[in-house]
Amino acid sequence: MRIDGSQRWVVLVVALLALGGDAAMAQEQDTTIATLVRFDQLDFDAFSKQDWTLFNQIHCADVKVVLPDGRETRGIKQHQSDMAAPSRQLQCLRVGVDHS
């Protein structure tokens, strides 16, 4: 049996819940899983399939992205333009999520 996309995060939730924890820990786990599921949607659906409507829905208008080469993009239009470029190849992807 192959586990894909959001299913793998459900497996993670079940495993974490099996370890026990309080309500605050459960809420944190829910938030983390929702973030990971959303990132899978961004990576596999929006970026890989170049679904720019979804790409724009997932990002805020003033998104700031720091690329592996240290270059920064600011704003969804610049970020989408960079991601749509035919020469765009990701060698390494480091993700940081700001919950503010």
In a domain, 86, yes or no: yes
Residue 4 and residue 39 in one domain: yes
Predicted confidence at residue 92, as pLDDT, reads: 47
Q: Domain count for the chain, please give it.
A: 2
**How many residues belong to the chain?**
100
Predicted confidence at residue 77, as pLDDT, reads: 93
Residue 4 and residue 45 in one domain: yes
Residue 40 and residue 63 in one domain: no
Predicted confidence at residue 9, as pLDDT, reads: 57
Cα–Cα distance measured from residue 9 to residue 32, given in angstroms and rounded to the nearest whole number: 9
Cα–Cα distance measured from residue 94 to residue 96, given in angstroms and rounded to the nearest whole number: 7
Residue 6 and residue 34 in one domain: yes
Which range of residues forms the domain containing residue 36?
1-50
> Read out DSSP for 55-70?
HHHHS-TT-EEE-TTS
Residue 6 and residue 35 in one domain: yes
The closest of 17, 63, 10 to 40, measured between CA atoms, is 10
Residue 70 and residue 34 in one domain: no
Predicted confidence at residue 48, as pLDDT, reads: 84
In a domain, 66, yes or no: yes
Cα–Cα distance measured from residue 27 to residue 22, given in angstroms and rounded to the nearest whole number: 9
Residue 69 and residue 46 in one domain: no
Predicted confidence at residue 74, as pLDDT, reads: 92
Residue 3 and residue 25 in one domain: yes
| Residue ranges for the chain with pLDDT beneath 50 | 91-92
Residue 46 and residue 63 in one domain: no
Residue 1 and residue 43 in one domain: yes
- pLDDT tens digit string along 53-78? 999 998 999 999 888 788 898 999 99
